[in-house]
Amino acid sequence: MVASPRFARWASLLAFLAFWQFVVPFFPTDLIPSPARVLQFMWDEVRGITLARATVWEAFGISLRRLSLGFLLAFAVGVPIGLIMGVSRAIENFFQDFVVVGLAMPSLVWALLTGVWFGMGDGAPIVTVFLAAVPFVIINTFEGVRDVPKDLTDMARAFQVSRTRTMRHVILASLMPFFFASLRYGLANGWKGLVLAEVFAATEGAGWTIQYWRDAHRAQGVFGYALFFVIFALILERLVFQRFARRVFRWRPEIGAETTISEMAADQFREAATDTDEEE
Amino acid sequence: MADVKVENLRKIFGSGPTAVRALQDVSFEASGHTFVSIVGPSGCGKSTLLNIMTGIETPTSGSVTITEGGSPARLGYVFQSARLLPWRTVMDNLLFVQQTRDEEARKRCMRFLEMVHLGDRADNYPGELSGGMQQRVGIARAFSIEPDVLFMDEPFSHLDAITARTLRRELHELWKETKKTVIFVTHDVGEAVELSNRILVFAKGGILADDIEIDLPFPRDSADEAVALAKARVLKRFEDLNLIAS
């Protein structure tokens, strides 16, 4: 038998579904819904049939808007801080501990705190996304600035290439992989924080809705939403990140079809993390 | 015709008892269709001289003027490594340093890519080329801005012997055809003899110790007797200057 990676992955999925179906009868009532019930719930949601206040489309739409706003804010604040940290030792030392604490802080803390500060509404989720994402944006931008190839900027100066052209084609271009890593890790961490913040401090959105199904004792709703989260993450990864990465990193021969962007970003993140460790 | 004038150039790094003299009262002139090699052991101030001539560093005293018909000359550079933008294609790397990016500039870039035999690689990324090809792109880039004076800093030192030999021939052809003033830094005396009409020998401490004219017909083959003799003569000067440990 040929054990292709594709086969192994499908086999694992089927084994999981079979196991799930198998354990359902051992639990009382509705605590564990069957795969079929969960799928039925999801299908209804997708078609807009729901008992909740909003359909899955509306709930995710609200969450996505909050995620985008929070992340744009994190990018707008994090990139300049990362840039100045990269060029000044003093500023690096000034921000360093905050960044390290920020990277280590569970998003749950931000979700709880912002709930206290902003109450119910858009404020807590957006600010949580911002706080959860901004350290990743800062650290990656900072690493990127450290990594700007001096031999290329010298070359541009020697050939009297204008500052704006050098900025765009040398400096920003060399920062692209680092911006990409910021995007990937910032969004991932921001999303986790967002869902928590919506559970505690929102009256709508994906996090609020999964909470709603829990309160309604509809296990299929909780399961279904958990799967929606997974699907959402997969879509983001496959359709957005991977395509974007292939476009942006066409020139890198090592980024082939087999290298996923998450692997590349993970490498970069590890480098960033070890560098921070060394400096402590 | 380009004129290069270096007058009483002095460069001192640091101050007090730890000060290092990198260049001491260096003066020379070069103009027109000439190929000047600057040779000397490492630490003799070759790179410092080049950095000052190209404006990357400032001298402690003295001056460098490089003019073309009275106005400032346009300068081209070839570095030790190719220094290409990895995220731009070969053609875009050449266009990056052009003053305009119109059809004319594109044609000019293509012409120089063809001169280094890379016309069919214009749309490749540097990562898809060998080290020798990348250095060729670097050379084509330097010529493509049609500089009055071309500076080259040990451009073949990272390449294998055979590739370096081929590239030296191509460089000679380009120089012959474009009639530029070339200032070429190298630690390889054989290379200097093969390519130049003039060799400036530097001694440790940044002293311009000798100015040797090489009056031999091109193309020069290192196996040729006259070339070998010239090389031996320059090496002898090195020894006289205690540049080579016996």
Domain membership of residue A15 (yes or no) is no
> Nearest 5°: CA angle at A151, between A145 and A155?
115
What is the domain range of residue B18? 1-74+183-246
Domain membership of residue A9 (yes or no) is no
Q: How far apart are CA A167 and CA A156, in angstroms?
A: 10
Domain membership of residue B113 (yes or no) is no
B97 vs A253: CB contact, 8 Å cut-off? Answer: no
CA A229 vs. chain centroid, Å, equals: 12
Q: What's the gap in Å between the CA of A177 and the closest CA on chain B?
A: 11
Closest CA relative to residue B199, chosen from B234, B225, B167, B246: B234
Q: What's the gap in Å between the CA of B242 and the closest CA on chain A?
A: 33
What are the tens digits of pLDDT across the range B16-72? 888 888 899 999 999 999 999 999 887 788 888 988 998 888 999 999 999 998 888
B54 touches chain A (CB under 8 A): yes
pLDDT in tens, chain A (280 residues): 556 778 888 999 899 888 988 888 887 776 788 888 889 999 998 888 888 788 889 989 999 999 999 999 999 999 999 999 988 889 999 999 999 999 999 999 999 999 999 989 899 999 999 999 999 999 999 999 988 898 999 899 888 899 899 989 999 899 988 988 888 888 889 999 999 999 988 888 889 999 999 888 888 899 999 999 989 888 888 888 888 888 888 887 655 444 444 555 555 555 444 444 333 3
What is the number of domains present in chain A?
Answer: 1
Domain membership of residue B223 (yes or no) is yes
| CA A40 vs CA A44, A85, A213: distances in Å | 6, 51, 15
Burial A78-105 (b: 16+ CB within 10 A, else e): bbebbbbbbeeeeebeebbeebbebbeb
A156 touches chain B (CB under 8 A): yes
What pLDDT sits at residue A256?
Answer: 43
A163 touches chain B (CB under 8 A): no
Chain A residue with minimal CA distance to B80? Answer: A151
The count of CB pairs under 8 A between chains A and B is: 47
What is the domain range of residue A62? 37-42+52-279
What are the tens digits of pLDDT across the range B122-170? 999 999 999 889 999 999 999 999 999 999 999 988 888 888 888 888 8
Domain membership of residue B15 (yes or no) is yes
Domain membership of residue A26 (yes or no) is no
Domain membership of residue A193 (yes or no) is yes
* pLDDT over 90 (residue B8): yes
Task: Return the SS3 of B117.
Answer: coil
B218 touches chain A (CB under 8 A): no
| CA A248 vs CA A146, A261, B3, B15, B104: distances in Å | 20, 11, 44, 48, 28
Q: What is the CATH number of the domain that holds B27?
A: 3.40.50.300
Phi-psi region of B146 (alpha: psi -120 to 50; beta: other; left: phi over 0): left
What pLDDT sits at residue A20?
Answer: 87
Q: What is the CATH number of the domain that holds A164?
A: 1.10.3720.10
Could you give the ipTM of this predicted complex?
0.84
Q: What's the gap in Å between the CA of A174 and the closest CA on chain B?
A: 8
Strands B35-39 vs B181-186: parallel, antiparallel or unpaired:
parallel
A157 touches chain B (CB under 8 A): yes
What are the tens digits of pLDDT across the range B81-138? 999 999 999 999 999 999 988 999 999 999 999 988 899 999 999 999 998 899 999 9
A154 touches chain B (CB under 8 A): yes
| CA A134 vs CA A84, B15, B37: distances in Å | 15, 45, 53
Domain membership of residue B218 (yes or no) is yes
B56 contact residues in A (CB cutoff 8 A): 154, 157-158
Query: Are B33 and B181 in contact, with CB atoms under 8 Å apart?
Result: yes
